[in-house]
Every structure is written in structure tokens, then in C-alpha cells.
Amino acid sequence: MTKATDLLQFYEDLDLGVYQDLAQELASINHLNIEGELLHQARIYSSYAGLLEHAKKECGNLEIELIRCQTNARIGARESCEAKKIKATVAIMDSFVNSDESCIKLTKKLVELKEKEGLLKSLVNTLSYRKDCLIQLSTHQRNEKKIYS
């Protein structure tokens, strides 16, 4: 497997449990190796930031698909109303859309993708905060070395 494949597999498996474990791991800092932590920080941040962009793309594509599905459901509602010779009100149209199985399925999938996007956004924010902490700790270490040397 490649790193990209591993990241995509991680994305597929991402849920609150996986997030909690990873957030704990990413937030931890080895105080004995601050410089090493800083060196790896950019790579880690880049990976999760890229995955966040992938999640945004997935959500955007699904939103387009959902809009198309809702439009088709409204067209079906209008045709049904015309066939029954009743006025197609907003409430009738909405009830057709809200009861359409395809629209319900896509809406549920969108909710799941938005959750993943939110979790990834939180991980990226954690990594950004971690970077700031690492820089601060590195500065303190350098200052301590100057004082004691």
C-alpha cells in the first residue's frame, strides 16, 4: 500500500473512536526530542490537511448529487400533482422530496461525510496548535541552553 492509499483507508475508517485515539496521539509531545518532533510536524500536518481537502471535495460532490436528486423528486411531485389535477404547493413538493428514498439515503451519507470533515478539521487544528507548542518549547530549550552554557 502507498501512503495515499493508507490515508484514503484511514478516511474511510474515520469515526469518533478513531478520532479520539488519533487526537490523543497527535497532541502528545516527546519533550526529549522537540527538534525531531518539529521535523515530522510538517509532514503530518500536510497529510491531514490534504485529507481535509479530500473530505471537502467529497462533501461538495455529494451536495451536488443531493441537489440533483431533490430536483428530480420535485419534478416527479409536480408531474404527480398535474396528473391528479391538484395544485403543487411547497408543502406537497417538500413532502415528496423528504419521503424520496434516494434523497434520504444521500442526506444520511452527507451527514456522515460532514462528520468526517469536521473531525479532520479538528485534527488539523490540533496539529496547528501542536506546532505552536513545539516552537515555543524549542525556543525555551534554546534559551535554557544559553543560560547554562
Over residues 115-130, the pLDDT tens digits come to 999 999 999 999 999 9
The set of cell numbers assigned to 145 is 541552553
Over residues 130-139, the pLDDT tens digits come to 999 999 998 8
- Asked whether the beta carbons of 130 and 31 are under 8 A apart, the reply is no
In degrees, to the nearest 5, what angle opens at C-alpha 144 toward C-alphas 140 and 146? Answer: 120
Is a pLDDT exceeding 90 seen at residue 147? no
Determine the angle formed by the axes of helices 34-84 and 90-99, rounding to 10 degrees.
Answer: 120
Over residues 45-74, the pLDDT tens digits come to 999 999 999 999 999 999 999 999 999 999
Tell if the pTM clears 0.75, that is, is over it.
yes
Distance CA 123, CA 14 (A): 12
